[in-house]
A = this chain, B = another copy of it.
Amino acid sequence: MKNYIKADPWNIIEEGFNPQLNKISESIFSLGNGRMGQRANFEEQYSGPALQGNYIGGVYYPDKTRVGWWKNGYPNKIDKVINATSWIGIDIEIDGEVLDLAHCEVEDFKRILNMREGYLERRFTARLKNGKCIRVQALRFCSIADDEIGAIRYCLWPLNFEGTLKITVYLNGNVYNQDSNYGEKFWEPGVTEVSDEGMYLFNRTKKTGFEVCTGSNFLIRKNEKQIRIDLEDICDQDYVGQRFFVEVKKNQPLSIDKISVQLSSLNHPGGQLMQCARQSLGQAMHKGFDQLKQAQAVAWAKKWEESDILIEGDASAQQAIRFNIFQLYQTYTGKDDRLNIGPKGFTGEKYAGATFWDTEAYCLPFYLATAEKQVSRNLLLYRYKQLDKAIENATLLGFGDGAALYPMVTMDGSECHNEWEITFEEIHRNGAIAFAIYNYVRYTDDRSYLADYGLEVLIAIARFWKQRVNWSGAKQQYVMLGVTGPNEYENNVDNNWYTSKMAVWCLRYAREAAKQVSRASPGKYKDLLQRVHFKEEEFEAWAAICSNMYLPYEPSMGIFLQQDGYLDKQQRLVTDLPAQDRPLNQNWSWDRILRSCFIKQADVLQGLYYFEEEFDLETLKRNFDFYEPRTVHESSLSPCIHSILASRLKDKTRAYEFYLRTARLDLDDYNNDTEDGLHITSMAGTWMSIVEGFAGMRVINDKLNFDPLLPEGWTSFSFRVQYRECILLFKIATAEITIENKGHKGIDLKIREKDRHIPGNKVVQLDQD
C-alpha cells in the first residue's frame, strides 16, 4: 500500500519525481476516451522503468498460447489488445544532451490528472548534466468529443541559458507488448509518410489484419507567437518524424501543439485509412489545441452532470469515487457494441484487454444508472452478437442442441483462456450474462430487448445448465460436479452453492422470459422457437431440475455451504493469519490455498447479493458473519459486494471500510500491482458500494427502492440516477434526504420501505428518522 497521491476533490496529484513510482503513476494518470487509451508515459525520452502503452479498442492480436501441459479443449490462442504506434513522442535535445528525466536532476515535478476537464498535466524543472536548466509544462488529453484525436501542448522555458534546441516530433511504431508470449511483434512492418500536412504511420496487425493509421502534425510557438521553421523529415519503416532546430532565449517560452489522430479499419473503409487520417488530422489542426481542449471540457462536463457523486466531509473518499467514475468513462462510453470493458481497461497489458464476467456482474449497474439505455444495451448486444461462438464453444466441450457457454475471457466471442479449472469450470459466468439481461430489463423496462435478443441468449444458456447438471443416484437430486465458483481459491469442486443457485435461477428466468415474450410478441416468439429448434417440452426438463436441485446447506448453522465438503476444512479466520502470510496468493503454494477455508472473493455472498429478495436479513447476517471472516479479499471484485451487504446489514463501519478498500485500491496501490494497470471493472463496484450500498438502491417490483445510510464522518453524499424516463438527484445528509426529480413526470419510490411520490420537476426533502 502506498500513500503518495494528494487528496483533492477533482484532481489526482503527484508531487515530486520518484522513478520507483513511475509505472504506478503511468497507470493512475492514464488517459482514454473509450476508443483509445494512453498510459501516462512521457513525451520526451525516458530511459527509466516504464511500461509504454497506447491501446486501441477492438484492435487485437491472437498471441500463441503458452501452456505447460495441454488439456484437450484448450484454445490455441489468446487475443490481446496491442500496444499501438505511439503518438506522443517529442524529443528535446539541448546542447547535444537529450532531455531524459532518468539522467538529470528533476525539481518541482508535479503530475495532475484534471478529472473535471479530462486532461493530464505534467510540470517539472530539469537540470541537465551540462548545467542547462529547463522548465517544462506538458498538457495532453484523449478527446472524448472526437475519440480518434489525441492532443498535446508541450511548453518549455530555458531557465539559465539561451541557445539552440534540437527538437524531434515523431510517431513511433517500434512498439511491443511486454506480455507477448514468445517475444513476437504483433504488427507487420509499417508504412510511413511525411509532408507539410503531417506525418503518418500505417500499420497492419499480423494474422487478424486490423489496419491502423496514426497521423500527427504540430505547430510551434515561440514567445507565444506561432513560427514557421525548417523541418527535417525522418521517414523510416516504423518511425516517422520531423526535426527542427530553434533558438531559444532565457525565460521565453517555446511551445509545441502536437495533434494526433489514430484511425482503425474497424471504423473506416479498408484501403482508405491514410486518406481518412489526412482528412481527420487536417480538421483537427484547423480547430487547434485550444478549441479541442474546450470541446473536451464540455464533453466531460456532460459526463459529470450525468454521473458525478458528491461526497461532503471526506476528501479522500470524494477523490476516490470521482477517480473511479472518470476511469470507467475513459474506458467505455457505450457508443460501440463491438467494444467492451477489460479488467485493466486501456491502462496496461494484463488480462489482455479482453472481456470477463466483470462487465455484466459489476459494470452494468453503473452504466444502467448513469447513462442512456443504449449504453447498457450495447453491452448486452456485444454478447448477443457472440452467441454463435458461445454455442460453438459449448460444442467443443461436448454440449449440444444449441447450448451456449460464454467464454471466460474473450475479445471476439471465442475463448482465449487456458486454465482448465477456470476456462472449463468457472461456468457461473454464463449466469452473470443471463442475470445482466434480467437486470437490464428490470431497470429499463425495455421488454422489446427480450423478444429481439435476450430470450435467444437465455434459452441457449438454460440449455447449457440443463446439460451440465446430472442426476445423482446417491443423493436422488440433481447435482453440479466439477465447477469453480467466483471464489477461485477453490477449484474443481462439487455443488458450489453459488453456481448451482445461479443455474436454477437461469432455468426459471429463461422460462419466465419465454412466457413474457410469448404473450407480448407471439410472432417473434414463434420465429425464435423455430430458429433455435426449441420445443416447449424442454421447459419440463428445466422445471424438474429447478424443483430438485441439490443446494448444499448446513442446517445446524443456518448457512449455505460454499460447496460440498467445505466444513471438512480446518476452520480458521483471516484474523488468525500471520501478516507475513498475506496476500496468500504470493506466500502460500496453490494447493495450500485450495485446501484452506480461505475465500478469495464473495461466493455464497455474491449469490445473496444477486438474489437478496429470496432471503431474510437473518439469513444474510448468518452467512455474512460466517463467510466474511474467512474472506481474504484478494480479488479486487470482493470488497464492493461486502460493502453493499454490510450496508444492508446496517453495519456502517464495515461498509465504509470495504468502500475505502475498493475506492482507493489503485490510488493507494493496495495490492501492489497498480503498475500493471488499473482495476477498471472493480471501479464500478465502488460506485455500487455507494448507490446500492450506502443509498440502498434496488429495483423491486418495477419500483425504485432506497434505504440510505450515511457513513460516519460524511456530511452528505449526492448522486444522480437515470431510471426509465426519470432523472433523479439524491442527497443523503445527516439530517435529511433530498430528492430532486429532474424530469417532467412524477415517480413513485420507496424510501426505507415507505412509498413516496416525487412529482416532476420538484425537490422533496425527507427527514432522516
Contact of A568 with B472 in the complex, beta carbons under 8 Å: yes
A590 at the binding interface (Cβ < 8 Å): yes
Say yes or no: A479-B568 contact (C-beta < 8 A), given A589-B396, A590-B73.
yes
A587 at the binding interface (Cβ < 8 Å): yes
Nearest B residue (CB) for A470: B570
A481 at the binding interface (Cβ < 8 Å): yes
Stretch at the interface among A60-68, A170-178, A286-294: A60-68
User: Can you give 19 A-B contacts (C-beta < 8 A)?
Assistant: A65-B68, A66-B66, A66-B68, A67-B67, A67-B68, A68-B419, A73-B591, A396-B589, A398-B588, A398-B592, A421-B492, A424-B591, A470-B569, A473-B571, A481-B569, A492-B594, A494-B568, A564-B564, A565-B565
User: Which residues of B are found within 8 Å of A182, using beta-carbon distances?
Assistant: 182
Instruction: Bits for A562-602, please: 1 = Cβ < 8 Å to B, else 0.
Output: 00110111110000000000000111111111110000000
Known interface pairs A472-B569, A492-B594; 12 further A-B residue pairs with C-beta atoms within 8 A, sorted by A's residue number? A66-B67, A67-B67, A69-B418, A71-B590, A72-B586, A73-B589, A398-B588, A424-B590, A474-B568, A475-B568, A481-B569, A481-B595
> Which residues in window 472-494 of A have CB below 8 A to B?
472-475, 479, 481-482, 491-492, 494
User: Which residues of B are found within 8 Å of A475, using beta-carbon distances?
Assistant: 568
User: Which residues of B are found within 8 Å of A569, using beta-carbon distances?
Assistant: 470, 472, 481
A306 at the binding interface (Cβ < 8 Å): no
A102 at the binding interface (Cβ < 8 Å): no
Expressed in whole angstroms, the Cα–Cα distance for A397 and B590 within the complex equals: 8
User: Which residues of B are found within 8 Å of A588, using beta-carbon distances?
Assistant: 72-73, 398
Say yes or no: A595-B474 contact (C-beta < 8 A), given A73-B589, A586-B72, A589-B424.
no
A244 at the binding interface (Cβ < 8 Å): no
A471 at the binding interface (Cβ < 8 Å): yes
Shortest A594–chain B CB gap in Å is 5
User: Which residues of B are found within 8 Å of A396, using beta-carbon distances?
Assistant: 589
User: Which residues of B are found within 8 Å of A470, using beta-carbon distances?
Assistant: 568-570, 595
Expressed in whole angstroms, the Cα–Cα distance for A594 and B425 within the complex equals: 10
Nearest B residue (CB) for A471: B570
User: Which residues of B are found within 8 Å of A589, using beta-carbon distances?
Assistant: 71-73, 396-398, 424
Residue of A73, A418, A474, A568 ringed by the most chain B CB atoms within 10 A: A568
Shortest A550–chain B CB gap in Å is 8
A10 at the binding interface (Cβ < 8 Å): no
User: Which residues of B are found within 8 Å of A68, using beta-carbon distances?
Assistant: 65-68, 418-419
Nearest B residue (CB) for A78: B68
Instruction: Bits for A46-72, please: 1 = Cβ < 8 Å to B, else 0.
Output: 000000000000000000011111011
Residue in B73, B418, B567, B587 whose beta carbon sits within 8 Å of that of A473 in the complex? B567
A420 at the binding interface (Cβ < 8 Å): yes
User: Which residues of B are found within 8 Å of A398, using beta-carbon distances?
Assistant: 588-589, 592
Shortest A71–chain B CB gap in Å is 4
Contact of A565 with B564 in the complex, beta carbons under 8 Å: yes
Expressed in whole angstroms, the Cα–Cα distance for A571 and B418 within the complex equals: 29
Nearest B residue (CB) for A581: B398
Contact of B587 with A72 in the complex, beta carbons under 8 Å: yes
Say yes or no: A397-B592 contact (C-beta < 8 A), given A471-B570, A568-B472, A585-B72.
yes
Contact of A492 with B494 in the complex, beta carbons under 8 Å: no
Nearest B residue (CB) for A566: B474
Expressed in whole angstroms, the Cα–Cα distance for A380 and B471 within the complex equals: 47
**Top 9 A-B pairs ranked by shortest CB distance?**
A73-B589, A424-B591, A482-B595, A71-B590, A474-B567, A472-B568, A481-B595, A397-B589, A470-B570
Expressed in whole angstroms, the Cα–Cα distance for A482 and B591 within the complex equals: 7
Nearest B residue (CB) for A570: B470
Expressed in whole angstroms, the Cα–Cα distance for A714 and B397 within the complex equals: 46
Residue of A71, A72, A569 ringed by the most chain B CB atoms within 10 A: A72
User: Which residues of B are found within 8 Å of A71, using beta-carbon distances?
Assistant: 589-590
Nearest B residue (CB) for A397: B589
Contact of B590 with A481 in the complex, beta carbons under 8 Å: no
User: Which residues of B are found within 8 Å of A585, using beta-carbon distances?
Assistant: 72
Expressed in whole angstroms, the Cα–Cα distance for A352 and B569 within the complex equals: 36
Shortest A573–chain B CB gap in Å is 14
User: Which residues of B are found within 8 Å of A592, using beta-carbon distances?
Assistant: 73, 397-398
User: Which residues of B are found within 8 Å of A422, using beta-carbon distances?
Assistant: 69
Shortest A432–chain B CB gap in Å is 19
Expressed in whole angstroms, the Cα–Cα distance for A622 and B419 within the complex equals: 37
User: Which residues of B are found within 8 Å of A568, using beta-carbon distances?
Assistant: 470, 472, 474-475, 479, 481, 494
Residue in B67, B492, B587 whose beta carbon sits within 8 Å of that of A491 in the complex? B492
Residue in B397, B494, B571 whose beta carbon sits within 8 Å of that of A591 in the complex? B397
Contact of A69 with B595 in the complex, beta carbons under 8 Å: no
Instruction: Bits for A449-482, please: 1 = Cβ < 8 Å to B, else 0.
Output: 0000000000000000000001111110001011
Instruction: Bits for A616-636, please: 1 = Cβ < 8 Å to B, else 0.
Output: 000000000000000000000
User: Which residues of B are found within 8 Å of A564, using beta-carbon distances?
Assistant: 564-565
Shortest A316–chain B CB gap in Å is 32
